[in-house]
A and B are shown apart, each in its own frame.
Chain A
Amino acid sequence: MKGFGIFSFLLIAIIAEATIILFFTIPVFLFKYHLTINLKVQYDYNEGETAVLSLLRLPYQDQEAYKIFSEWPIRYYNDENAKKFLKEKINITSLSKCYKLFNSTDVILKSGNCDPKEVLAEAYIFVPYNPKSLVEKYVLVYDR
């Protein structure tokens, strides 16, 4: 019986130690893991949104690039200069060679034969007055 008591004591000690290890070490690793994932999600999200905001503010012909998005179906859909401008600026702001820019009706720019998925950002753009739709959603997707 005395042996059993020592055995129990040792067993408690082992379980306690294992639990303490679990308590402190695993959470630390998990926290680090989650923090990494968390920051990656935030970074991806904010990077995409920041890229889009930067793009909208860029100067273009005495206006901002916002106007290209706003008036895309009216003035810019067949304007090669506007397309070239957007292509160059997306390359710079996203540092990506695989991207796709589209709205609800049209693919505005697409690079190569890739299928980008990594970073996605949306922009809600005021368009010239139209009783059916005053805001158009544009989506920029790109891979790093």
Chain B
Amino acid sequence: MKGIVEFVLVAAIAFLLVWATYWHLMIGKTVEFQLMTNERDVLSTINKMEQIKIGLPYALRYSFEKAFYDLGQKGGYNAIPSNIPTKDGLPYWRYGNEFYIPKWYEETAKATKIYLNEYIEKATGNSIYKEVKVDRSSVNATSDELLVLKGSNCKVETNLNVSIFLDMNRFKVYEVAEEYVKNHCSEVFYCDTTDPDRVCAWYYQDKEEVLVIDERYKIIIWNVTENSYELVKPVLKFKIKC
């Protein structure tokens, strides 16, 4: 009987020791696996954030180009104010003695902000940019919030204020248009051929429409009909009636 008790005792101790060893190893593996997963998650999140930071000036430039193109097609306004006369969806920049020339830096900034937030939302799920400023030589996007990029077990925060520099003559298409509207209402064609940075304007009198083309730049635009990108020259369309 005593022998059986001893045997059971030995077996129980052996069982407990083996069991303890097993759990010790399993817990160790689990902890190690978690650490490995966390480390990889941290690295992955940081690298993703770095990719976003490298790409932001490009996203801002593409947003600006798209905004510039879209506004040009709509007479320089994001939304045409109700007090401005329109025809065929285009605003009159001049109607008799009244002038309705848009504040193009502000309008471009508004549209750029919308597109830039689309980019950042696509990449991170957040649209953080509260303000975009456009002037003659630069575009600046700022946010008072930090961009938070969440991994499975971590989050990375960073400030994503971003700027790009523009050619000083980037808005010449608007400057030429304004000058044209104020001084050349009845002329058929205007083009400063002495300027190597050529910007041309056509006035179609029967349509009361002005088309201003910036010959220097090409903008990459997604052509929905063709389902592909194309390089186009910036165009500004608007109406005029003297």
Residues of A within 8 A of B (CB): 1, 4-5, 8, 11-12, 15-16, 19, 22-23, 26-27, 30-31, 34, 38, 41-42, 45-46, 49-50, 52-53, 56-57, 64, 66-67, 70-71, 73-74, 123-132, 134-135
Task: Given A15-B13, A56-B51, verify A38-B58 contact (CB < 8 Å).
Answer: no
- Chain B positions 57 through 91: 1 when the CB is less than 8 Å from some CB of chain A, otherwise 0: 01100110110000000000000000000000000
- Between-chain CB contacts (< 8 Å), 18 pairs: A4-B6, A22-B21, A30-B28, A42-B39, A45-B40, A53-B51, A70-B55, A71-B220, A73-B228, A125-B55, A126-B56, A128-B66, A128-B222, A128-B229, A129-B63, A129-B222, A130-B222, A134-B119
Q: What 3 A-B pairs have minimum CB-CB distances, sorted nearest first?
A: A19-B17, A129-B66, A128-B220
Contact B6 A8 (CB under 8 A): yes
The B149-170 residues at the A interface (CB cut-off 8 A) are none
Provide the residues of chain B in CB contact with A11, threshold 8 Å.
10
Provide the residues of chain B in CB contact with A23, threshold 8 Å.
20-21, 24
Dominant SS at the A interface? helix
Contact B118 A134 (CB under 8 A): yes
Task: Give A81 Cβ to nearest chain B Cβ, in Å.
Answer: 18
Provide the residues of chain A in CB contact with B51, threshold 8 Å.
52-53, 56, 123-125
Q: How far is the CA of A21 from the CA of B200 in the complex (A)?
A: 88
Contact B28 A1 (CB under 8 A): no
The tally of residues in B whose CB lies under 8 Å from a CB in A reads 49
B39, B48, B55 interface centre (most CB from chain A within 10 Å): B55
Provide the residues of chain B in CB contact with A56, threshold 8 Å.
51, 54-55
Taking a contact as CB atoms closer than 8 A, the residue among B10, B48, B52 that contacts A15 in the complex is: B10
Taking A73-B229, A74-B231 as known contacts, 8 extra A-B pairs with beta carbons closer than 8 A to each other, sorted by chain A number, are A19-B14, A34-B32, A64-B54, A66-B55, A124-B55, A128-B222, A129-B62, A129-B222
A16, A57, A125, A132 interface centre (most CB from chain B within 10 Å): A125
Taking a contact as CB atoms closer than 8 A, the residue among A5, A26, A42, A126 that contacts B58 in the complex is: A126
- Chain B positions 31 through 44: 1 when the CB is less than 8 Å from some CB of chain A, otherwise 0: 01001100110011
Provide the residues of chain B in CB contact with A53, threshold 8 Å.
47, 50-51, 54
Q: How far is the CA of A123 from the CA of B123 in the complex (A)?
A: 11
Provide the residues of chain B in CB contact with A34, threshold 8 Å.
29, 32
Provide the residues of chain A in CB contact with B50, threshold 8 Å.
53
Report the nearest B residue to A8, measured CB to CB: B6
Contact A15 B14 (CB under 8 A): yes
Q: How far is the CA of A76 from the CA of B115 in the complex (A)?
A: 24
Task: Given A15-B10, A124-B48, verify A4-B18 contact (CB < 8 Å).
Answer: no
Is B207 part of the binding interface, using a Cβ–Cβ cutoff of 8 Å? no
Provide the residues of chain A in CB contact with B18, threshold 8 Å.
19, 22
Report the nearest A residue to B64, measured CB to CB: A129
Report the nearest A residue to B69, measured CB to CB: A129
Report the nearest A residue to B229, measured CB to CB: A74
A22, A57, A129 interface centre (most CB from chain B within 10 Å): A129
